[in-house]
Structure formats: C-alpha cells, structure tokens
Amino acid sequence: MKNLKIKITASLLALTASFSLAQTANASQGQEMVTFGDSFTANGGAPGKRSSASPFKPFIPIHPCFNDKRNWAHQTAGNFRYSLADYSCNGTSYQIDAYVNDAIRTGNIGPNTKEVVFMYGGLQPDTHIDSLANATLPNIPKASNYRGLLRFDFDKIRRVAPKARITMVNYLPMTVNDTLCAFNDGTRVVPISFPGATTAEAEFNREIGRAAQALGANFINLYDQAKTHDTCQPDPAQRWTVAMKTRTAPSVMPMHPTDVGHDGMAGIITRELQRH
C-alpha cells in the first residue's frame, strides 16, 4: 500500500512537472501579437480595472510601465483573438531597444508571433530630425539614427520570429489648418493658430511611412485615415484627440487620444492588418 502511494505521488509529480514544462515551452514560442509604443499607445494612467502592467519588469522599478486594457493595442489583439504582449509605455524613446530585448529574452516574441506593431517616434528626437531633413532635401540618402535603431531591433525580431510581420503605424492628427483647439467641449471652443503646425505634423507622419518602406516593414497610414478626427472636431463621438481633458470626449491624458480615439485607431489598424 505504501509503495502504491509512492508510485501515485511520483506519477502526479511527474505529470505536474510535464505540464509546467509544456506551459513554459508554449510561452517561449511567443505571443501572437506584440506591440511597442509611447503614451499614444500605452495610455498609461487609465483608471481602475482598465490599468494593465507591462510585461517589461526593470531591474530597478523606478519607472514601471502601465498600459490601458482599452488602448488600441489591446482592442486590436482582441479583434483577432490573439494573445498579446503590450510593451507600450508612457515616455518611450530610445529605451525601445530594452523593451525589444526583453520581449525576445522572455519569449514573448518567438516562432508563434504573427504581428509585431510599432507606433513609435513621437518622443524620439531623431524622427523629427529626419522629418525636417527629408522635407528639405528629399530623395538624397542620409544617415538616420531613427532608422538605424529600428533596423537593429527589426533584425533581432526577424531572427527569432521569422514568420512575424512587422508593421509601423503613424499617429493621429492633433491640428487642422494650422489650428489646435486648446479646449473643445462641444459648446465652447478655444482655437489657437500655429502657422505651419499642420504641415509639420503631416511631414512627421509621412517620415514614419518613409522609414517603414526603407526598413522593409508594413505601414499603416493612420494619420491620413483619421483626418477630421482632430481636436477641433465638433462631434465628441468623432473627436479622437484632445488638447485639454473634457467630460464630453473623455481621455486619460491631455494632448492625447480620447477613449473613442483608441476605439477608432483599433478599427483602422485591425482593418489594415486584415487587408494586407
């Protein structure tokens, strides 16, 4: 009887160990979708149960990353019914490389990964340098730190996830006709004119598309498809960005997408990923 109990216990332990190993093996194969971006993606600071911790765990948790379960990344993964590792984080700039390295090291990017999506560059100074340089002197090859960093990271991703598609997405419009609506609650609007602002915004977003082409990545032109959804849009249900927070078009942060803006971004990104 004692021997029987020992055998049963040993069998259960072996089964548990096998199950744990299988889970580890499956996890190391990669999440189906992995996303990277700054606060336009993360929407960190979302209230209550909407808040979600990033899979990135720094050795010294001085600046932990949180994102929003309602952000476009979570919604898009949900639309595809894909597992997700959302590495987006408020303030992301050059540290994007650390997030990519972590995703590879922890197995979140692996052979089973299907989509890797970047909305990145808004807080990366080199993107704006490239935008100005290529607008001033188009069609002339130039060195680019922005493209160099992304090429370095894309190459690492392609080595461990050869079947994954890498997509770059640009940003939502904030201005229209060189005007930012600093406050807009549907009844009171405070427009502020910034000469050249819309041209600069458009050129910056075009630069992300040019970089995607140069790097052999898929590109989703969110900016052009989201025109009319800027801060001056009179309909709060269609106002995807705000300068100041309002009750009529709720947002987690000022100068960021609204909640319906994340819904809209998810719709466009989902459709474009399905199309290509």
pLDDT tens-digit map of 242-261: 999 999 999 999 999 999 99
Average pLDDT over residues 32-57: 97
pLDDT tens-digit map of 133-162: 988 888 777 889 999 999 999 999 999 999
* 36 burial level (CB within 10 Å; 0-12, 13-18, 19+): buried
Cα 95 to chain centroid distance, Å, stands at: 14
d(CA 218, CA 220): 7
Q: Quote the pLDDT of residue 58.
A: 83
Which of 105-139 are b and which e, b meaning 16 or more Cβ less than 10 Å from the residue's Cβ?
A: ebbbbbebbbbbbbbbbbbbebbbebbeebeeeee
Q: Quote the pLDDT of residue 60.
A: 76
Report yes or no: 89 and 56 within 8 Å, Cβ to Cβ.
Answer: yes
Average pLDDT over residues 122-130: 96
Sign of the Cα pseudo-torsion (16, 17, 18, 24, in order): positive
Q: Quote the pLDDT of residue 90.
A: 97
Report yes or no: 234 and 248 within 8 Å, Cβ to Cβ.
Answer: no
d(CA 166, CA 100): 12
Average pLDDT over residues 253-276: 98
With cut-offs at 50, 70 and 90, classify the pLDDT of residue 2: very low
3.40.50.1110, 3.30.830.10, 3.30.2130.30, 3.40.640.10: CATH of 31-171+196-224+262-275: 3.40.50.1110
- The reported pTM is 0.89
- Domains of the chain by residue range: 31-171+196-224+262-275
Q: Quote the pLDDT of residue 27.
A: 54
**What are the start-end ranges of the E strands in 111-202?**
115-119, 165-169, 179-184, 189-193
Tokens of 120: 């990145």
Which of 156-193 are b and which e, b meaning 16 or more Cβ less than 10 Å from the residue's Cβ?
A: bbeebbeebebbbbbbbbbbbeebbbbebbeeeeeeee
N- to C-terminal Cα distance for the chain?
63
pLDDT tens-digit map of 190-248: 999 999 999 999 999 999 999 999 999 999 999 999 999 999 999 999 999 999 999 99
